[in-house]
Structure 1
Amino acid sequence: MTQFPGRAGEAETQPCFALPDDLFSEAPVPPEAFIARIEQLGPWLPDDPALPPVGVAVSGGGDSLCLAWLARHWRKNLLAFVVDHGLRAESAEEARLTVRRLTAMGVPARLLTLTTLTKGPGIAERARQARYAVLAQACRKAGCLDLLLGHQADDQVETIRMRQEAGSGPDGLAGMGWVTALPDVRLVRPLLSVSRHALRNTLRQAGLAWVDDPSNQDTRAERVRVRHSLQEQDTRHTLWQTGVKAGAARMQRDAERAAVLARQVTLRPEGWACVGPDLPEPEILSGLIRCVGGLIYPPSPAAVARLQAAGQEATLSGVQLVRGQTGWFLVREAAAMAAPVRAEAGARWDNRFELRLPPAVSGEELWIGPAGLGLERKDRQGWPARFCATLPALWRGDRRVAVPHLGWCLEEGLNQAHFLFQPPVSVTGSGVYGWPERKVDQPHT
């Protein structure tokens, strides 16, 4: 019988890196073992239909469908989200089939369809970002504070190997976190210690079928090539242990960096960071650049180290390092900002700002775009013109009508509109890596 590694109460003062013999077992997963693990990854809202559900991302494949089946044994108040990428002719029917399978097992499901993806270079990463964006939006609409993901042990060791080969820093070698806190939802991966084969055998034992995506066998993809190279059990165990040790160290570093940030750095709602008279260490500077730039991944460690050592104004990854009267600032690079998008309630722009728009506002010809230059000094609240040029503004046609962060507005109906600064990744890690040996008491975001 497959058991999840780690037991509550162990390693309270020192992380334990011992691995059980059955880490990559192919035996079916008992629901009670899943429940014991997921309870460690709380806190969770009570299983009450009057409260928001826990979200489950389900592609229809063996990993995520098994996650939904196991989660159904844990609680009733669930809501599955099935994303159809629209990249294969069969994907729409497979998504509808997955919704029917979820409904049959007692898990309500919503179908989310992507219409903007096109095949071509970088499709895997583009599809991943689009999937997470639509899932986060669906969670917001449904009030889900938590979203369960089906990443499993083989995914984890593949990720660690890929990051090793890419020369990733020590944070990257921690792999995926058991918990990752985004601005408005927690991503929870309760299957990270269960093998791919164990999950499929769990479904077979339950008499359930799943969808196999042929792209998972396409050796043109790096992950597929890495997967075929990791057949040796010892190699996978070694990579797993690398991730556990790196994860424990990462959480310690994250706590130390957070303390430095709290003392020295101010992250402004306008989307820029006041860094202070001295530049922080490269790892902290990297996190700030990622946050201000709305990036999913950090910039090159070597490039950040050179930037920090030079101590001069420069631009990196779409972010400007600027020296002001009170110290250093990180500000979005105007030329790197996103193109305008339609101004609708909940719309995201530049992967950093989310619009809150009063219901009575007319959306006709209303767009979100950069404020640009041309704001008078008296309207900039003491901020430099090049800072204010990067603020999100509302435009009606080609006429700037509101810059909510400055309280500047030409239309009365827009004076209640505002933007929330919500970058996709926090400055420091706020997740759980390595090996959760006890209940994780982390606040919801």
Structure 2
Amino acid sequence: MPDDPALPPVGLAVSGGGDSLCLAWLARQWRKHLLAFVVDHGLRAESAEEARLTVQRLEAMGVPARLLTLSGLTKGPGIAERARQARYAILAQACREAGCLDLLLGHQADDQVETIRMRQESGSGPEGLAGMGWVTALPDVRLVRPLLGFSRQALRNTLRQAGLVWVDDPSNEDLRATRVRVRHDLQGQDTRQTLWKIGIEAGTARMQRDAARAESLARRVSLRPEGWACLGPELPDAEILSGLIRAVGGLIYPPPPAAVARLLTAGQDATLAGVHLVRWRAEWFLVREVAAMSAPVPAEAGAMWDNRFECWLPSVVSGGGMLIGAAGPGLERTLRGGWPARFCATLPALWRDGQRVAVPHLGWWAEETLKEAQCVFRPPVSVTGSGVYGCPDGNEAAEAGRAPDM
């Protein structure tokens, strides 16, 4: 994209730490039309001040910045994953509002090696061993990680040479966190180089498999706008089934490979990761599990419900106490277009005062003003991943499969 102020800016996710601040400094040498987003998770008393300080440092660097504040996060089990999901959700929303097609992230080579080791230890299959993608295509934005070929130390040395200071988050030294323990365990350079090479090889293989899967999906599977998948008379292989479960369930990450393997072996109706595998009319379908769907959300233009449906509404609808939620049971047979009631119960619907007033996918509305309402199925990650893995930035060490100096 040209560096043109008339076009949308390139987005940057900047926490204020050494990695993301160096990303901003390097990006500023590359182009002028940037927009940084600083997320305050609100989990530490000092986080708000640190976020404001980061915004000031970015603006002093010549990078415009917006402060995004999360609410509702509480410490406790799964906080790292909950914070990550909330962070990516608010960043994606900010990119949509600003028109950013690309969001640059500060993940670097040490992060990649740690990710690969963590996935090794969790028994991840070949998909996970590819690590983080250099480019990951989401429905609204491309996540770009241009620093994966550079070590944490190299980035901090760059900041020191530029006379810049950064924020050190104390949670990065909390040994209760799995990633921090892995970081402390990975002291040997040989181990890091081995893991780096595993990631390069696994990433290259992953992209080849993604291409083959896309071809197979086009021939055999229909991913429908209603949010369910028609698999045909026979179940697909484990990797394709895993990607479909992720899409239908609105998940960022695929379900555990062992659980998918058990599902295939059983070959019967079952649930996994918020998705129901159903046999109907001699064919297999994946539909959302009713009990796992999200609660209703306010009916506003661009609202995302159940992490899968983006809703666009007539201007007369927004606000006014209307909600977007599951259609639920009780839809008349004549409205369902031949689909089972349990399928249609998972469709997004508009509700007012406890009454269902529209189900856009069924072309039904109780009021003429709701006729133009639409809910578009947009899972957070495509079935085949749509990412670039194992493709370093061109430096000789990375091309040779060796880890950067760490």
1:76-225 superposed matches below 5 A:
76-225=32-181
> Aligned residue for 1:431?
387
User: One-letter code of the match for 1:416?
Assistant: E
5+ residue gaps, structure 2, are 395-406
Query: Partners in 2 of 1:234 and 1:400 — Cα distance?
Result: 61
TM (norm. structure 2) is 0.95
1:320 to 2:276 alignment: yes
Query: Partners in 2 of 1:238 and 1:210 — Cα distance?
Result: 30
> Aligned residue for 1:230?
186
> Aligned residue for 2:346?
390
Query: Partners in 1 of 2:111 and 2:47 — Cα distance?
Result: 22
Query: Higher RCO, 1 or 2 (CA under 8 Å, sep at least 6)?
Result: 1
> Aligned residue for 1:268?
224
Query: Partners in 1 of 2:393 and 2:35 — Cα distance?
Result: 28
> Aligned residue for 1:302?
258
Question: Secondary structure in 1 aligned to 2:246?
Answer: helix
Question: Secondary structure in 2 aligned to 1:51?
Answer: coil
User: One-letter code of the match for 2:245?
Assistant: I
Query: Partners in 1 of 2:282 and 2:14 — Cα distance?
Result: 49
Q: Deviations over 1:248-284 (max 9, x none)?
A: 1111111111110011111011100011111100110
Query: Partners in 1 of 2:392 and 2:116 — Cα distance?
Result: 18
1:364 to 2:330 alignment: no
1:417-428 superposed matches below 5 A:
417-428=373-384
User: One-letter code of the match for 1:397?
Assistant: D
User: One-letter code of the match for 1:94?
Assistant: E
Query: Partners in 1 of 2:262 and 2:42 — Cα distance?
Result: 42
Shift of 1:309: 2.4
Contact 2:350 2:358 in 1 (8 A): yes
Query: Partners in 2 of 1:290 and 1:157 — Cα distance?
Result: 24
After the TM superposition, which of the residue ranges 412-421 and 255-264 deviates more from structure 2?
412-421
Query: Partners in 2 of 1:306 and 1:64 — Cα distance?
Result: 41
Query: Partners in 2 of 1:236 and 1:243 — Cα distance?
Result: 11
Contact 2:149 2:392 in 1 (8 A): no
After the TM superposition, which of the residue ranges 326-335 and 62-71 deviates more from structure 2?
326-335
Query: Partners in 1 of 2:282 and 2:96 — Cα distance?
Result: 38
Shift of 1:310: 2.4
Contact 2:149 2:393 in 1 (8 A): no
User: One-letter code of the match for 1:345?
Assistant: A
Contact 2:350 2:359 in 1 (8 A): yes
Contact 2:349 2:359 in 1 (8 A): yes
Shift of 1:436: 4.1
Given the alignment, which residue of 355, 358, 363 partners 1:402? 358
Query: Partners in 2 of 1:199 and 1:141 — Cα distance?
Result: 30
* Alignment size in residue pairs: 394
> Aligned residue for 2:304?
348
1:58 to 2:20 alignment: no
1:292 to 2:248 alignment: yes
Contact 2:301 2:318 in 1 (8 A): no
User: One-letter code of the match for 1:287?
Assistant: G
Q: Deviations over 1:297-320 (max 9, x none)?
A: 211212211211222122111111
Query: Partners in 2 of 1:362 and 1:81 — Cα distance?
Result: 27
Query: Partners in 1 of 2:139 and 2:12 — Cα distance?
Result: 18
Question: Secondary structure in 2 aligned to 1:395?
Answer: strand
Q: Deviations over 1:212-253 (max 9, x none)?
A: 101001111110111011111111111101100111111111
Given the alignment, which residue of 273, 286, 310 partners 1:330? 286
Shift of 1:360: 2.2
5+ residue gaps, structure 1, are 1-44, 439-445
Alignment RMSD (CA, Å): 1.1
> Aligned residue for 1:49?
5
Shift of 1:412: 1.9
Contact 2:300 2:318 in 1 (8 A): no
After the TM superposition, which of the residue ranges 415-424 and 137-146 deviates more from structure 2?
415-424
Q: Deviations over 1:335-383 (max 9, x none)?
A: 1111111111121111111111222225222111110111111111221
User: One-letter code of the match for 1:99?
Assistant: V
Query: Partners in 2 of 1:331 and 1:86 — Cα distance?
Result: 36
Shift of 1:435: 2.2
Contact 2:117 2:195 in 1 (8 A): yes
Shift of 1:430: 0.8
> Aligned residue for 1:33?
none
Question: Secondary structure in 1 aligned to 2:111?
Answer: helix
Question: Secondary structure in 1 aligned to 2:387?
Answer: coil
> Aligned residue for 2:336?
380
TM (norm. structure 1) is 0.87
Q: Deviations over 1:193-230 (max 9, x none)?
A: 10101111101100111111010011111101110111
Shift of 1:321: 1.1
Q: Deviations over 1:143-171 (max 9, x none)?
A: 11100000000000000000011010011
> Aligned residue for 2:233?
277
Query: Partners in 1 of 2:282 and 2:225 — Cα distance?
Result: 18
Question: Secondary structure in 2 aligned to 1:83?
Answer: strand
Query: Partners in 1 of 2:10 and 2:203 — Cα distance?
Result: 26
Query: Partners in 1 of 2:232 and 2:34 — Cα distance?
Result: 45
After the TM superposition, which of the residue ranges 326-335 and 384-393 deviates more from structure 2?
326-335
1:339 to 2:295 alignment: yes
Shift of 1:99: 0.6
